[in-house]
Structure 1
Amino acid sequence: MTAQPAQQDPVTVSVFTQRFSSTPRGARLARHLAAHQLHAWGVPYGTDLSDALTLIVAELAANAVAHGRVPGRDFELRLTRLAATVRVEVTDTHSGPPRPPAPGDVRPPHPLDEHGRGLLLVDALADRWEVVDREPLAKTVRAEVDTEDDRGCAGH
C-alpha cells in the first residue's frame, strides 16, 4: 500500500512590477499605483496595513529618486503578495554611496535635520527589510510586512 501525499492548499502569489522615472513625480506615481494595487489585492485603502505599505513605498521611492538617481535611468517598484506577507522592493541603478545603512544600523537624525527619517519609518513599519546588491550596478531595498496580524487585509 502506498501512502497518499498530503493535500496542500494552493498558494497564490500576485506580483506587480512597474518602472518609474527617477523624479519626484515618478515617486508620487509609484505611491499612488501601489495603494491602488494593494486595494485590488484586498488590502483596503485607509487600513493600517495599506497605510504602512504605502508609506514604505513612498519612502523607498523617494530614496531611490534622491540618493539612487542616475540620469536617464528609471527605478523599479515590485510588490509581491504572498499568503501572509506583502513584499515591497525598490531597485535603483546606483550601487555606490550613499548606501542605505543595514537594518539595525539606522540612527535617528538630529532633531533639526530636514532629512534622514525615511529608513527609520521603514524600520518601524516593516517586519523585515534589507539592502541587496544587484548586477549590473544596482541595489534593491526590500521590505516585508506580515499580513497575519489583522491590520486590515481581506481574508485574514
Structure 2
Amino acid sequence: MWPPCRSPRTQSPTPARTFTQRFSATRRGARLARLLAAHQLTEWGHPHCTEAHDTIVLVVAELAANAVLHGRVPGRGFALSLSHDDGRRVIRVEVTDTHPAQPTRRTSGTDENGGRGLLLVDALAADWGVRDRLGPGKTVWAECGTVPRT
C-alpha cells in the first residue's frame, strides 16, 4: 500500500527542558531574547502574569541588556540559555558574551537612569554568579524558583 504506513510515535511527550539561542548584541537582540524567553516559559507551563514567569523574564531582560550595553564586542553577539530543572524547581538563566570585563554591582544615585540591573537580579534570583567560558568572555547566570515565594 502506498504511502507506507507510519509507525506509531516513539517520541516522548515531555517537551525539551532547555532553550539556547544566539542574538545580536543590539537593543533589538536583547528585546528578542526577552520575548523568546517569555514564550519558552509559557511553553514550559509558566504562563504570563505568574510570579515565576514575570521574575524570570525580568532577569533575562536585565542580563541581556547588560550583555548589550557592557559586554558588547563589535561583530560578536551574545547567547541566552534557559534550563528547567523540575527536581530542584528552578530555571537557570545563562547569558554569555565575549567581553572579558566582569560585571559589578554598583549603587546608583537616585537621579541616575541606569545601574540597577544586577541589584534587581540579586533581589529576584535565588542565586546568581559569573563564570569564565572557553574563549574570551564570561557567562552570567541566575537561578530562579518556579514556585511562588511565601
Shorter chain as denominator, the TM-score bin is 0.7 to 0.9
Structure 1, 12-21 or 25-34: larger mean CA deviation:
12-21
- The gaps in structure 2 that reach 5 residues or longer are 1-14
Q: Deviations over 1:67-112 (max 9, x none)?
A: 000111110000000111100000001013xx212xxxx3431111
Report which of the two structures shows the higher radius of gyration computed on alpha carbons. 2
Q: Kindly provide the amino acid, as one letter, of the partner of residue 95 in structure 2.
A: V
What's the Cα RMSD here? 1.8
Are 1:131 and 2:134 an aligned pair? Answer: no
Identity %: 57
Q: Kindly provide the amino acid, as one letter, of the partner of residue 94 in structure 1.
A: H
CA distance in 2, matches of 1:37, 1:62: 19
The aligned runs of 1:105-120 (5 Å cut-off) are 106-120=105-119
Q: Kindly provide the amino acid, as one letter, of the partner of residue 115 in structure 1.
A: G
* SS at structure 1 position matched to 2:48: coil
CA distance in 2, matches of 1:42, 1:30: 19
Are 1:82 and 2:81 an aligned pair? Answer: no
Superposed structure 1 runs of 4+ greater than 2 Å apart = 148-151
User: Is the Cα contact below 8 Å between 2:128 and 2:141 reproduced in 1?
Assistant: yes
CA distance in 1, matches of 2:146, 2:49: 15
The aligned runs of 1:1-156 (5 Å cut-off) are 14-83=17-86, 84-96=89-101, 99-101=102-104, 106-149=105-148
CA distance in 1, matches of 2:110, 2:74: 32
User: Is the Cα contact below 8 Å between 2:52 and 2:147 reproduced in 1?
Assistant: no
Q: TM-score, normalised by structure 1?
A: 0.81
- The gaps in structure 1 that reach 5 residues or longer are 1-11, 152-156
CA distance in 1, matches of 2:108, 2:149: 32
